[in-house]
Every structure is written in structure tokens, then in C-alpha cells.
């Protein structure tokens, strides 16, 4: 019996007893996802208990399909674009929305304001869910909102997007906002330079919530709080919008409600907030 065969009902390491190669491939992807940088094949094989020849073969197949990336200069591997696309597709579809919907409904009723679930797609906020308060409580507020499901807006202008960006890596921020021209405006307000945006996001990360005042629509402000995955990375944000001239609640009350909702969503996806300090 060779290394690609196994007796039914038995297992090989952490891989599937039906198909060791498939199990090992999945183990490799999960392993790489948990590592902050590149990993050499020999280290990966040792940590997972996989023969080196099998590890190199599986890595080659995964690289051909874009799931991992090989960096020859360092003779090491990391996750590839295809892995990112699969993860992004999960966030864009029903599982996240199904978990978030009851949370948003509760918040909309409590605040009497429209509440959104949004994710980051490149440098844009994409709204996945929109929950409105009961009939008659939204008034003319919702009529003026541009944040319908599927709408994309510049992430650096929305409280939803800023809540996610505030917890994104410096490398990601540099890739998204390397030039002043990347910072568009809708109302003439907002950060003017990448350095200015990074400074604002650092303050928002420190306090744990984001807010925009008339950056998207004149007369309106929004607040957002991020939810996190099991690595403590931001995957989405919950936000609410209201007219500045007709505040129903003070800032602290809105912030606390959103924090509670975001924490519930983080728990629902088996995530945890990043450590501070």
C-alpha cells in the first residue's frame, strides 16, 4: 500500500480516510491561513506530519490552481488569490447575511433607525442587508438614504467601511489608498490625503467605533462597528444612519447598541475581537 492509499475506516494524520490527498490539501490551506507570513514546505510538512514528497506535490497542485502562492526567492508558500476569492465569496453570500439579519432587526427596532450590514470589496463598501424600523418610525429619513442593498460607496466615506478599514493592516491601506486621487468625495468633506485617512482610522480603531458626519449625504451622519472572524480580522460592519437635526439617541447609546450587535455577530461566526495593546 502506498502513501496515496489507505484502509477504509482508518485515517492518516488529520486527513480524510477516504482521500488522504484531499484531506492534506485542506490541512495545508487551513495551516497557511493561520500563519501571518510565508512558510517553507519543509516546515509545513513537519508541522502537519506529511511526507515532504507529498507536501511538495500537493503544494504544486494548489499553486497551479491559485490556492497558494510560491515565492521562489524565499522558497516559501502563502495563500493565493483563489483562496481569497473563496473566502470573499463566503462573506458575500447567505451564511453571513442569515446570521446578521435577526441582529439588525433587533437594532432597527431598538434605535428606530435604518441599520445596515456591509463588507469591504476593494476600496468600496458593499451593503448586504438593510433593516428599517417599524412603519412610521423611519419618516422621511429612509427616502433620502442611498444605502440600499447592493449599493457600493467609497469605503473611506462610510462609517460602515471605515469601521472595517480601521482594523485592516497597514499594507492593505497602502494598497487601497496610495495616492490623494484615491480619496474621492461626495459632499466636499472627508480625508484629503492617505496619511490623513490613516491617522483618522488609527483613532477610530483605538476607540472601537467609526462615525461619518455628512461625508455621504448632507444632513446625515452614520456610526459603524466591525465584526471579526476567528483570526480577529474584520469581516463586516454594522452601521446606522440618522438625520443630524433629529437625533433620537445620544452618541453613547447608539455606540453601545452597535457594539452589542457587532459582538453578537462576531460570536455567531465563531470569531473574536482583536487584542489591543
Q: Does residue 8 register a pLDDT over 70?
A: no
Q: Does residue 70 register a pLDDT over 70?
A: yes
Cell 506530519 belongs to 49
Mean pLDDT of 196-223: 93
Q: How far apart are CA 124 and CA 155, in angstroms?
A: 4
Higher-confidence residue: 69 or 209? 209
Q: Report the Cα 164 to chain-centroid distance in Å.
A: 7
Q: Report the Cα 189 to chain-centroid distance in Å.
A: 26
pLDDT band at 1; cut points 50, 70, 90: very low
What integer pLDDT is reported at residue 89 of this predicted model?
Answer: 64
pLDDT tens digit sequence for 105-145: 999 999 988 999 999 988 899 999 999 887 655 444 554 56
Q: Where along the chain do its domains lie?
A: 20-85, 93-268
In the predicted model, what is the mean pLDDT of the chain?
84
Whether 83 and 94 have beta carbons less than 8 Å apart is answered as no
| Residues counted in the chain | 277
What integer pLDDT is reported at residue 94 of this predicted model?
Answer: 60
Mean pLDDT of 11-22: 55
Q: How far apart are CA 24 and CA 19, in angstroms?
A: 9
pLDDT band at 247; cut points 50, 70, 90: low
pLDDT tens digit sequence for 210-222: 999 999 989 889 9
Which percentage of the chain shows pLDDT scores above 70? 84
* Range with the poorest average pLDDT among 94-98, 192-196, 246-250, 252-256: 246-250
Query: What is the CATH T-level fold of the domain 20-85, as seen in this structure?
Result: Arc Repressor Mutant, subunit A (1.10.10)
Whether 163 and 225 have beta carbons less than 8 Å apart is answered as yes
List Cβ neighbours of 49 (8 Å cut-off, separation of 6 or more).
Answer: 13, 14
pLDDT band at 16; cut points 50, 70, 90: very low
Q: Is the pTM above the cut of 0.85?
A: no
pLDDT band at 12; cut points 50, 70, 90: very low
Which percentage of the chain shows pLDDT scores above 90? 49
Architecture (CATH level 2) of domain 93-268:
2-Layer Sandwich (3.30)
What integer pLDDT is reported at residue 118 of this predicted model?
Answer: 95
Q: How far apart are CA 216 and CA 213, in angstroms?
A: 8
pLDDT band at 244; cut points 50, 70, 90: confident
Q: Does residue 170 register a pLDDT over 90?
A: no
Q: Does residue 9 register a pLDDT over 70?
A: no
What integer pLDDT is reported at residue 257 of this predicted model?
Answer: 96
Amino acid at each position: 500500500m502506498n502513501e496515496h492509499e489507505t484502509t477504509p475506516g482508518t485515517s492518516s494524520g488529520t486527513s480524510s480516510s477516504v482521500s488522504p490527498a484531499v484531506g492534506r490539501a485542506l490541512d495545508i490551506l487551513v495551516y497557511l491561513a493561520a500563519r501571518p507570513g510565508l512558510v517553507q514546505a519543509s516546515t509545513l510538512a513537519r508541522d502537519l506530519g506529511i511526507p515532504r514528497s507529498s507536501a511538495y506535490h500537493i503544494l504544486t497542485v494548489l499553486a497551479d490552481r491559485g490556492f497558494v502562492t510560491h515565492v521562489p526567492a524565499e522558497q516559501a508558500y502563502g495563500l493565493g488569490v483563489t483562496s481569497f476569492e473563496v473566502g470573499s465569496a463566503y462573506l458575500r453570500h447567505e451564511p453571513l447575511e442569515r446570521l446578521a439579519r435577526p441582529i439588525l432587526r433587533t437594532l432597527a427596532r431598538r434605535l428606530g433607525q435604518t441599520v445596515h450590514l456591509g463588507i469591504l470589496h476593494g476600496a468600496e463598501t458593499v451593503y448586504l442587508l438593510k433593516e428599517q424600523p417599524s412603519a412610521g418610525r423611519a419618516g422621511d429619513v429612509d427616502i433620502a438614504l442611498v444605502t440600499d442593498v447592493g449599493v457600493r460607496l467609497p469605503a473611506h466615506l462610510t462609517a460602515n467601511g471605515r469601521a472595517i478599514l480601521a482594523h485592516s493592516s497597514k499594507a492593505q491601506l497602502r494598497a487601497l489608498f496610495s495616492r490623494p486621487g484615491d480619496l474621492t468625495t461626495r459632499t466636499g468633506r472627508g480625508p484629503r490625503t492617505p496619511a490623513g485617512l490613516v491617522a483618522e482610522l488609527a483613532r477610530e480603531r483605538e476607540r472601537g467605533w467609526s462615525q461619518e458626519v455628512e461625508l455621504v449625504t448632507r444632513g446625515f451622519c452614520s456610526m459603524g462597528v466591525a465584526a471579526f472572524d476567528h483570526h480577529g480580522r474584520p469581516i463586516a460592519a454594522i452601521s446606522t444612519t440618522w438625520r443630524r437635526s433629529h437625533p433620537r439617541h445620544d452618541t453613547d447609546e447608539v455606540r453601545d447598541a452597535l457594539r452589542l450587535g457587532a459582538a453578537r455577530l462576531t460570536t455567531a461566526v465563531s470569531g473574536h475581537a482583536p487584542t489591543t495593546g
